[in-house]
């Protein structure tokens, strides 16, 4: 039976490879961090993790996880509502809600699940979901699972959003959905303007804070803090897998009745295992740390500025970022791959992106800056950028 299907898959895989889109894994043999050790023992500086606050190997989080594993065991072997809820899960939900200044929160195994399980329980074919064209794949999939009428507006384009809102007056309820920070350009969604339009056209607002939480806003509390939109965003989703320690887990936080309904009807919550106690405990410790000090956020912001200023001075073309993501524009797809490979040979890991991940003719190197990077490490990356930039004719 497998014969024909095997040939089909082999041909598909070959065409992925030919298009230069085949994804290979880098094998790391050390903790995640600013500097990582590879399988061959060599070291590399890491500028492509979502480790924005440098917490992936944080001793306090490791200790909290170990303590919880000793006290509470390894796993829950249950979904939340049958026998998979510990006091730790409830405490973490409260900590998430306190951090975002919301009424309640619900945990998921990942933000992919949070987004997959947020629309279908709340909206029907009578309603409208109005989604930014550059929203994350998990939002797109979540919307697909729901029967609501779909509208799509151009990235952060408020005139286009307004057009969608006008059309969506035909539906019963409307929700505008956006990423807080878009992962390819590093731009922040204009959430204040989105909230204005939501009020004008009677719509709810949902923001996915995966790349914005811990980064955007005066103390890193995301877009509501950045735009002073507290009380105007109905739903935030987010991940524990980026700024917040980088392990695993997601959440939806917002209005009480919305979270209540998700606990009743959200399928990834009802039919998937609880987070392990160690993850919940480390999450509680994480929010305690962020409450105590803003030092990591401040350092991360300073590092972004430091990197950007020196790269611009060297003559690179960088998208105006408002986050920890710096897009170094090269425009040419093969060049972006040669550039990333030349950087890797110098022990600097950055990612080259090109169509279809970004629009045609907008190939780039994405650099993700962390609080964990030292100035010396940033300097080494900048020096490598300049060297490769000259070698490949990007810099004159």
Ligand X SMILES: *Cc1c(COP(=O)(O)O)cnc(C)c1O
What residues are annotated to the active site? 183, 211, 242
Instruction: Please tell me the distance from the alpha carbon of residue 341 to that of residue 367, in angstroms, as a whole number.
Output: 14
352 φ/ψ angles, rounded to the nearest 5 degrees: -95, 125
Taking the complex as a whole, the smallest distance from the CB of residue 97 to ligand X amounts, in Å, to 18
> In terms of CB distance, is 155 or 167 closer to ligand X?
155
> In terms of CB distance, is 174 or 242 closer to ligand X?
242
Tokens of 363: 């190939």
Taking the complex as a whole, the smallest distance from the CB of residue 374 to ligand X amounts, in Å, to 26
Question: Could you tell me which of 322, 327, 363 has the C-alpha nearest to residue 181?
Answer: 322
> In terms of CB distance, is 109 or 229 closer to ligand X?
109
- 333-345 vs 375-391: helix crossing angle, rounded to 10: 130
> In terms of CB distance, is 220 or 241 closer to ligand X?
241
CB neighbours of residue 15 within 10 Å: 11
Taking the complex as a whole, the smallest distance from the CB of residue 137 to ligand X amounts, in Å, to 8
Taking the complex as a whole, the smallest distance from the CB of residue 7 to ligand X amounts, in Å, to 33
Taking the complex as a whole, the smallest distance from the CB of residue 114 to ligand X amounts, in Å, to 8
Q: Which residues of 353-363 are buried (b: 16+ CB within 10 A; e: fewer)?
A: bbeeebeeebb
> In terms of CB distance, is 47 or 112 closer to ligand X?
112
Taking the complex as a whole, the smallest distance from the CB of residue 238 to ligand X amounts, in Å, to 8
Please answer whether residues 363 and 355 qualify as being in contact, where contact means their C-beta atoms are separated by less than 8 angstroms.
yes
> In terms of CB distance, is 54 or 389 closer to ligand X?
54
Instruction: Please tell me the distance from the alpha carbon of residue 186 to that of residue 206, in angstroms, as a whole number.
Output: 19
Per-position DSSP letters for 128-146, written without gaps between them: EEEEETT--HHHHHHHHTS
Taking the complex as a whole, the smallest distance from the CB of residue 108 to ligand X amounts, in Å, to 8
CB neighbours of residue 237 within 10 Å: 32
Strands annotated E in the chain: 35-37, 43-46, 104-108, 128-132, 149-153, 174-179, 204-208, 235-239, 250-254, 325-331, 348-349, 351-353, 363-368
DSSP state of 188: B
Please answer whether residues 29 and 348 qualify as being in contact, where contact means their C-beta atoms are separated by less than 8 angstroms.
no
Q: Which residues of this protein are in contact with ligand X, per CB under 6 A?
A: 110-112, 115, 136, 138, 179, 183, 208, 210-211, 239, 241, 250
Per-position DSSP letters for 328-380, written without gaps between them: EEEE-HHHHHHHHHHHHHTTEE-EEE-TTSS-TT-EEEEEE--TT--HHHHHH
Tokens of 9: 């898959």
> In terms of CB distance, is 86 or 210 closer to ligand X?
210
The DSSP bridge pattern shows strands 43-46 and 128-132 to be: unpaired
């Amino acid at each position: 039976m497998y014969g024909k299907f095997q040939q089909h898959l082999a041909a598909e895989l070959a065409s992925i490879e030919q298009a230069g889109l085949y994804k290979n894994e880098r094998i790391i043999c050390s903790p995640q961090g600013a500097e990582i050790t590879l399988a061959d023992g060599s070291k590399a500086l890491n500028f492509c993790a979502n480790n924005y606050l440098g917490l992936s190997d944080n001793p306090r989080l490791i200790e909290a996880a170990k303590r919880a594993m000793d006290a509470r065991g390894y796993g829950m072997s249950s979904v939340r509502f049958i026998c998979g809820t510990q006091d730790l899960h409830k405490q973490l939900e409260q900590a998430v809600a306190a951090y975002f200044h919301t009424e309640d929160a619900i945990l998921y195994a990942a933000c992919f699940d949070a987004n997959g399980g947020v629309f279908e329980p709340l909206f029907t074919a009578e309603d409208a979901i109005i989604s930014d064209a550059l929203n994350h794949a998990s939002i797109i999939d979540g919307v697909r699972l729901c029967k609501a009428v779909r509208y799509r507006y151009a990235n952060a384009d408020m005139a286009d959003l307004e057009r969608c809102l006008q059309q969506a007056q035909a539906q019963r309820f409307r929700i505008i959905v956006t990423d807080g920070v878009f992962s390819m350009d590093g731009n922040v969604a204009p959430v204040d303007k989105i909230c204005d339009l939501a009020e004008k056209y009677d719509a709810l607002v949902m923001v996915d804070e995966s790349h914005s939480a811990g980064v955007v806003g005066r103390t890193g509390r995301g877009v509501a803090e950045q735009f002073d939109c507290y009380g105007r965003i109905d739903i935030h989703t987010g991940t524990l897998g980026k700024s917040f320690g980088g392990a695993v887990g997601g959440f939806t936080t917002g209005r009480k009745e919305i979270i209540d309904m998700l606990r009743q009807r959200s399928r990834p919550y009802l039919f998937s295992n609880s987070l392990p106690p160690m993850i919940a405990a480390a999450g509680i410790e994480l929010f305690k740390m962020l409450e105590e000090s803003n030092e990591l956020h401040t350092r991360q912001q300073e590092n972004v500025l430091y990197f950007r200023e020196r790269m611009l001075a060297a003559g690179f073309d960088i998208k105006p970022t408002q986050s920890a993501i710096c897009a170094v524009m090269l425009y040419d797809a093969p060049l972006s791959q040669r550039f990333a490979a030349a950087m890797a040979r110098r022990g600097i890991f950055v990612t080259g992106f090109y169509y279809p991940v970004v629009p045609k003719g907008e190939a780039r190197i994405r650099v993700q800056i962390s609080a964990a990077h030292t100035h010396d490490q940033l300097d080494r990356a900048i020096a490598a950028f300049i060297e490769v930039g000259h070698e490949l004719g990007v810099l004159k």
